[in-house]
Amino acid sequence: MDQQTRIQADQVSYTYEEAAAPALSKASVTIREGEFVAVLGHNGSGKSTLAKLLNALYVPTEGKILVCGFDTAQDSHVWEIRRRAGMIFQNPDNQIVATIVKEDVAFGLENLGVPTEEMIPRVESALAAVHMSRFADSAPHMLSGGQKQRVAVAGILAMEPSVLIADEATAMLDPSGRREVLDTVRALNRQKGITVVWITHFMEEAAEADRILVISDGQIVSEGTPREVFPHVDRMRELHLDVPRMTALAADLRREGMPIREDVLTVEEMVKEVERLCPLKSAT
Amino acid sequence: MSIEVRHLTHTYGEGSALSTVALNDISFTIQEGEFVGIVGHTGSGKSTLVQHLNGLLKPTSGQVLVDGEDLNGEKVNRRVLRQRIGLVFQYPEYQLFEETVAKDIAFGPKNQGLSTAKIDARVHHAMESVHLDYQKYAEKSPFELSGGQMRRVAIAGVLAMAPKVLILDEPTAGLDPRGRDRILSMLEELRDREHTTILMVSHSMEDMARLATRLLVIAEGKLVADDTPRAVFARPDLLTRIGLDVPEAAKLCAALRGKGYDLPPDLYRMEEVRNALLALWKGADPC
């Protein structure tokens, strides 16, 4: 495993106790430093199982996972892994433990035994990175869902992780809350080079990723950039997944014979294609 | 069954230092068979509004009339009126509690004092309405089901009380695309086959574009628009200003019009936009 590899899963399977079939079956994936990887799959596809394996909450039944070089199957590595690969979950109310925002952010550091004089600046800079400094002394229950999720992100950032794993972190938020959390994490990815594994049901979020993994029935069934994955509209629908609306529209138009690019993802790109194919007559 | 809201105002913590006006002089009337979408930013007052419609909250001033009867009137049988207006809360699956799916759904009609045969018929019908096979699921524990299925059990529990009006607060939140589509097509059928009056609170403008026949737009406790989806989505600036999304089809249409393309200003369904683009491309319209 080279220096730039953050996560390496090799032929990983996981079977829940008493389950007939594995939840994840022979999954192999390599995620490199600074990548933003979206994971798509319907409920029960195995994507949350994958997330929990990456964070050493579960240990593979078969195969091996290395996170920042540490084998998740070794008990002695668990804390090294959790410190380097932080995880945020779906429900903002289930992951806040303290009654004041800055104490919540400090929680992980306290567990690591970080001295107070070092803890304070780390908490401050983590809150600044998610634009929540002015709420440092607020009570978490006064915050919106999006703000709570950003506090959860700050709690992980304070640990100075290499990898952030988000398991449907925007599912319970309204559209503006979703935007604010995704933008925050995207900025951390670009500016601090934090590797992100972003599990989501929202195809518009996945469209902004560097790479997409599609999981179905415990297997990785498709992998590539959004432009490579989404044009397979029929295949995605068979897997009970959406594609971005503009990609679906492009597929419909192509079916009618319009020679539009199949990998259109956004409204802006669709406008460009329309301008290319139906140029406006110059103003008279 | 009609619902009329007259000058409804609700103030939380009235008289205290923290008093907030959540709803400010709202009036509208909903007729039988309408599918009304209620949209607004988080904190706009939409959940406060729906809790007034079945009497969970009392207006600070103003009235809610159900078929002409004041829901908060002194002589009114609130219990009966409430049964006719079913409210499905956000994440209703958290409220499931019984051992089996059938028992959980039967809880409401049982409280209505119906006979066993009637309760059974209600449970069967409700499960059919939410597309859960009776043979397969009736005797299962609701906690063995997927999130989307659990939510449909919870909705069936409300439908089993045979409400005339169904109110749903964010019924698709947190579901995967398949779970979401199942809920939406189920609501579509209730609207078309049973003519149930439906009010749905949602942040998803795409869901609204698909289902609603009318939209109520709430911002800061006020009703800022009450119109067809076509008319509301033709005002993307209004929606954006109050922090709401616009359906992608309407966004594309607005962007192309901005470039000078001659498209109707009020397209909001993807099929309409597709047809308009095909017409452009085939040169049926001057382009």
Query: Residue A39 has which token pair?
Result: 């994971």
Q: Which helix (H) or strand (E) element contains residue B39?
A: strand B35-40
Q: Which residues in chain A have their CB less than 8 angstroms from residue B245's CB?
A: 175
CA-based torsion, B212, B215, B220, B223: positive or negative: negative
Could you tell me the two tokens for A284? Answer: 């008279």
Q: Which of A44, A253, A271 sits opposite B255 (nearest CB)?
A: A271
Question: Which letter, b or e, does each residue of A236-264 get, where b requires 16 or more Cβ atoms within 10 Å of its Cβ?
Answer: beebbbbbbbbbbbbbbbeeeebebbeeb
Residue A14 forms beta bridges with which residues?
A: A24
SS3 B223: strand
Looking at residue B138, the DSSP 8-state letter turns out to be T
Check A145 against B249: CB less than 8 A apart.
no
Residue whose tokens read 């209703």? B92
- Does A246 sit within 8 Å of B248, measured CB to CB? yes
A113, exposed or middle or buried, with CB in 10 Å at 0-12, 13-18, 19+?
A: exposed
Among A163, A159, A155, A190, which Cα is nearest to A69's?
A: A163
Sole residue written with tokens 């634009």: A131
Question: What span, in angstroms and rounded, lies between the C-alpha atoms of B216 and B199?
Answer: 10
Give this complex's ipTM: 0.86
Q: Which residues of chain A make contact with B277, given a CB cutoff of 8 A?
A: 249, 253, 258, 274, 278
Nearest alpha-carbon partner for A13 in A33, A35, A28, A1: A28
Whether residue B178 and residue A42 make contact (CB cut-off 8 A), yes or no, is yes
DSSP chain A: --TTEEEEEEEEEE--TT-SS-SEEEEEEEEETT-EEEEE--TTSSHHHHHHHHTTSS--SEEEEEETTEETT-GGGHHHHHHHEEEE-S-GGGS--SSSHHHHHHHHHHHHT--HHHHHHHHHHHHHHTT-GGGTTS-GGGS-HHHHHHHHHHHHHTT--SEEEEESTTTTS-HHHHHHHHHHHHHHHHHH--EEEEE-S-HHHHTTSSEEEEEETTEEEEEE-HHHHTT-HHHHHHTT----HHHHHHHHHHHTT----TT--SHHHHHHHHHHHSPPPPP-
DSSP structure string for B53-87: HTTSS--SEEEEEETTEETT-SS--HHHHHHHEEE
Distance CA A151, CA A130 (A): 7
The domain ranges of chain A are 5-243, 244-284
Distance, in Å, from the CA atom of A82 to the CA atom of A63, rounded to the nearest integer, reads: 20
- Within chain A, which residues score under 70 in pLDDT? 1-3, 282-284
Interface test with B, best of A266, A278, A281, A282 (most B CBs within 10 A): A278
| Terminal Cα-to-Cα distance of chain A (whole angstroms) | 64
Neighbours of B187 (CB within 10 A): 24
Pick left, alpha or beta for residue B128 (phi over 0 → left; psi -120 to 50 → alpha; otherwise beta): alpha
Amino acid at position B124, single letter: H
H/E run at residue B219: strand B214-219
Work out the minimum CA distance from B68 to partner chain A, whole angstroms: 35
CA distance B213 to B181: 18
What element of type H or E holds B238?
helix B236-241
Fold topology of A5-243: Rossmann fold (3.40.50)
The pair of structure tokens assigned to B88 is 């499905």
Residues of chain B with pLDDT under 50: 285-287
Q: Token pair of A80, please?
A: 């090294």
Per the listing, tokens 């901005």 go with B258
Beta strand B61-66 pairing with B69-70: antiparallel
Q: Find out whether B170 and B141 touch, Cβ atoms under 8 Å.
A: no
* Disruptive mutation site among B277, B278, B280, B287 for chain A (greatest number of A CBs within 10 Å): B277
Within 10 angstroms of residue A35's Cβ, the number of other Cβ atoms is 19
CB-CB neighbors (< 8 A) of A168 in chain B: 174
Closest by CA position to A230, among listed A210, A209, A207, A208 = A207
Coil, strand, or helix at residue B260?
Answer: coil
Which amino acid makes up residue B285? D
Residues 6+ apart with CB under 8 A from B17: none
Q: Pick the closest to residue A101 from A130, A131, A128, A133 (CA basis).
A: A133
> Is B243 in the A-facing interface, judged by CB distances under 8 Å?
yes
Q: How far is residue B160's CA from residue B109's CA, in Å, rounded to a whole number? A: 6
pLDDT of A282 reads 60
Three-state secondary structure of A181-230: HHHHHHHHHHHHCCEEEEECCCHHHHCCCCEEEEEECCEEEEEECHHHHC
User: In this complex, which of B179, B259, B286 lies closest to A271 when CB atoms are compared?
Assistant: B259
Tell me which residue in B148, B255, B274 faces A43 most closely, judged by beta carbons. Answer: B148
d(CA B19, CA B21): 7
Among chain B residues, CA nearest to A245: B248
Question: Which residue is it, tokens 């079956």?
Answer: A25
Task: Say if residues B101 and B108 touch (Cβ distance below 8 Å).
Answer: no
